[in-house]
Structure 1
Amino acid sequence: MNQNLFASFNVPMMLGIPLVTLVILFPTMLITPSNKLISNRLSSLQQWLIKLTLKQMMITHSTKGRTWSLMLLALITFITLNNLLGLTPYAFTPTTQLSMNLGMAIPLWAATVLTGLRFKTKASLAHFLPQGTPIPLIPMLIIIETISLFIQPIALAVRLTANITAGHLLMHLLGDTALTLSSIYLSSSVITVIIIVLLITLELGVALIQAYVFTLLVSLYLHNNS
């Protein structure tokens, strides 16, 4: 049965009802805190990773900016779990949906901008016009800086969507190629399967890195406005 190349990115439905909310919440339910996990190796590893991640993101922040640490930690955990969900068989990857990524990026970006306008009004407005700008270039630079500001959430969402989608499409294409070659040249099929395994390993790294990059950029926007 031939299937559309992008069929795996369709939102799953049951009785005509989208199941995307349940899919998004499913990875989170797997790590629900439990008293049984206290003081074991898994919880120690989890705490070490949390401290390492927060140290990298919060090292340049002021005391006021560090109040966002819990939210940023929840964000990177949420994106990582949803990215990894798509690497399991017969799974749906929520972060391949641009609408979902925009739904995360726009409120977070807007919150950082409003925080800057409230607590650092002069410094935030000064970003629109660098010091020493020639008078004839002032209108053009203000327009350019305004456009670049509003592009930030779009860039956040598109970067995450494109990187996750590209890897899944490549694995899909290589998987179809391996199935086709298995009935023609077995040796070529084995080589393709090895490439797929290596690609899956790469995608594991991409899933983690993209979650970190998304959260780090939000952290940088916060740093510039807090």
Structure 2
Amino acid sequence: MNENLFAPFITPSIMGITTLPIIIMFPCLILSTPKRWIPNRIQTLQMWLIRLITKQMMTMHNKLGRTWTLMLMSLILFIASTNLLGLLPYSFTPTTQLSMNIGMAIPLWMGTVLMGFRNKPKASLAHFLPQGTPTPLIPMLIIIETISLFIQPLALAVRLTANITAGHLLIHLIGSATLALSSISMTVSSITFMILFLLTILEFAVAMIQAYVFTLLVSLYLHDNS
């Protein structure tokens, strides 16, 4: 019987009821919150990372854009913790679902666009038509810029989904090959296992990088409209 490669990406359910809301809420529960005056080492490392990312990502924003700091930091922590937990055995990664990623991307993108049209409508409308455009090309450029604007949330969601799904598929394929080769040649199986180990380390990096890229792109959209 052939194994379905996409079986790990099927949303788990109990008695026909999806467990996705519980899985989405779980990363928020493992983040430690300081309950005393002197934080422990994990909390200190967590606060240091948050300050570092906040300083790097929010420096370019004005006073209005910095009001999004809490939302963007919560977003990057949620995506990173969800991606990392999805690398554990017998776990599920919600960010492999395109519907969930679109559900995150569209409200954030729409919030930045609406804020731009509200605070500086002339500058926002000017993006649809670059300065110095020849008159015959004006209708075509407006259509192209409009399409590129509306495709931004889809690009955000597809990028995150594709990168996380591709990494999980590679791990699944190489892990299956390692088990199959163990009964044929231990030498080849050991080499394949080393490749699997290195790929797993790479996936840990990809999980954090993709969370940073997703949040950074939202931050850039915010910067263009604030």
State TM-score, norm by structure 2: 0.97
- In structure 1, give the amino acid aligned to 2:52: L
Task: Give how far 1:155 is off.
Answer: 0.2
1:224, 1:59 → 2: CA distance? 14
Aligned length: 226
Show structure 1 runs of 5+ residues with no match. Answer: none
How far apart are the structure 2 equivalents of 1:38 and 1:106?
39
Judge conservation of contact 1:95–1:164 (CA < 8 Å) in 2.
yes
> 2 CA distance for matches of 1:2 and 1:142?
50
Residue 59 (structure 1) shift: 1.2
Provide the rounded CA distance (Å) in 1 between the counterparts of 2:31 and 2:161. Answer: 24
Partner of 2:4: 4
Paired with 1:183 and 1:97, the residues of 2 have a C-alpha distance of: 35
Q: Distance in 2 between matches of 1:31 and 1:95?
A: 18
Preserved contact between residue 34 and residue 43 of structure 2 (Cα < 8 Å): no
Structure 2: how far apart are the matches of 1:216 and 1:159? 13
1:45-84 paired onto structure 2 within 5 Å: 45-84=45-84
Aligned to 1:14: 14
Q: Secondary structure at the match of 2:151?
A: helix
Label 1:6 to 1:37 Cα distance change in 2 as closer, same or farther (>3 A). farther
Instruction: List gaps (5 residues or longer) in structure 2.
Output: none
> Residue type of the partner of 2:205?
G
Deviations 1:62-96 (CA, angstroms, capped at 9, x unpaired) = 01100100000000000001101110010000000
Map of 1:167 onto structure 2: 167
- The Cα of 1:43 is off from its aligned counterpart by 1.6
- Deviation, 1:37, is 8.4
Q: Distance in 2 between matches of 1:174 and 1:191?
A: 11
Structure 1 match to 2:193? 193
Q: Following TM superposition, by how much is the alpha carbon of 1:36 offset from its aligned partner in structure 2, in angstroms?
A: 5.0
Task: Please state how far the C-alpha of 1:97 moved relative to its aligned partner.
Answer: 0.1
Paired residue secondary structure (1:208): helix
User: Kindly tell me: are residues 38 and 26 of structure 1, through their superposed partners in 2, closer, same or farther at Cα, counting changes over 3 Å?
Assistant: farther
CA RMSD after TM alignment: 1.1
Residue 148 of structure 1 pairs with residue 148 of structure 2: yes
The alpha carbon displacement at 1:39 in A equals 2.4
Residues 1-226 of structure 1 mapped to structure 2, 5 A cutoff: 2-35=2-35, 38-226=38-226
After the TM superposition, which of the residue ranges 22-31 and 161-170 deviates more from structure 2? 22-31
Partner amino acid, structure 2, of 1:129: L
Output the CA distance in 1 between the equivalents of 2:201 and 2:120. 44
C-alpha separation in 2, matches of 1:32 and 1:49: 13
1:38 Cα deviation from its structure 2 partner = 4.0
Structure 2 contact 178–192 (Cα < 8 Å) conserved: yes
On the 8 A contact 1:95/1:161 being kept in 2, the answer is yes
Q: Compute the displacement of 1:31 (Å).
A: 1.3
Instruction: Give yes or no for contact 2:105–2:157 (8 Å, CA) kept in 1.
Output: yes
Cα distance in structure 2, aligned partners of 1:82 and 1:51: 20
**Is the 2:32–2:43 contact (alpha carbons within 8 Å) kept by the matching residues of 1?**
no
Question: In structure 2, what is the Cα distance between the partners aligned to 1:81 and 1:36?
Answer: 24
How many percent identity over aligned positions? 66
Q: CA deviation at 1:3?
A: 2.7
